[in-house]
A and B are shown apart, each in its own frame.
Chain A
Amino acid sequence: GNSVTQMEGPVTLSEEAFLTINCTYTATGYPSLFWYVQYPGEGLQLLLKATKADDKGSNKGFEATYRKETTSFHLEKGSVQVSDSAVYFCALGTSGTYKYIFGTGTRLKVLA
């Protein structure tokens, strides 16, 4: 079945450091890929998405490229801020299933 694997957290970085959170997936067909972010006490918010191979999603300085050859969708940001501290979830969805598969989440803590 479909699955998503994320790197274990927590990830602790200093402000302005470079961020990478790894995400790989297994899926039949052609999934769409997403990154969601969850702040304390809130639900998940869509951060970015990519719907086909080689697409790059970007938002708020975050980027991720849909790599079909390596079945990966790694999240990157060039310079993190304290306000980026949150839990990040990689997810995939496939047409006709009406459900998403989520990774286990990676907690990011950014220190001033």
Chain B
Amino acid sequence: KAGVTQTPRYLIKTRGQQVTLSCSPISGHRSVSWYQQTPGQGLQFLFEYFSETQRNKGNFPGRFSGRQFSNSRSEMNVSTLELGDSALYLCASSRPEEGGGISPLHFGNGTRLTVT
């Protein structure tokens, strides 16, 4: 079974540009989450989508946005890039646990974004 696939693996952008990152979840997983990982802040939650609906959003500025498509694939977009947006962006998918418990996340290998 294929894992979570994120593209591209690496991106270099300049300040002020925008970027779109893509995530394909594990087949059958309908929940997709995004996290930003930096050495100073660790993993910070960006947003979570389920059946094309955003169910929760972290404390990030409006420059960070996302969406989910009907096939559960997801994209996140960052507009007007700042140097501080340099990070590893991780996508994770999950499926509902039996009995309604908390589902473990299955992570992709991430997209490393460098803003210069």
Contacts and interface: CB of A to CB of B under 8 A. Distances in A.
A93 B102 contact: yes
B48 A99 contact: yes
A99 B50 CA distance: 12
Chain B interface SS verdict (over half)? strand
A73 interface: no
A46 B105 contact: yes
A102 B105 contact: no
A2 B78 CA distance: 27
Interface residues of B, number: 25
Interface stretch (A17-25, A37-45, A60-68, A76-84): A37-45
Nearest to A93: B102
24 contacts: A34-B104, A41-B109, A42-B109, A43-B4, A43-B6, A43-B90, A43-B92, A43-B107, A43-B108, A43-B109, A44-B43, A44-B92, A44-B105, A46-B105, A46-B106, A51-B101, A94-B102, A98-B48, A99-B45, A99-B48, A99-B56, A100-B33, A104-B42, A105-B42
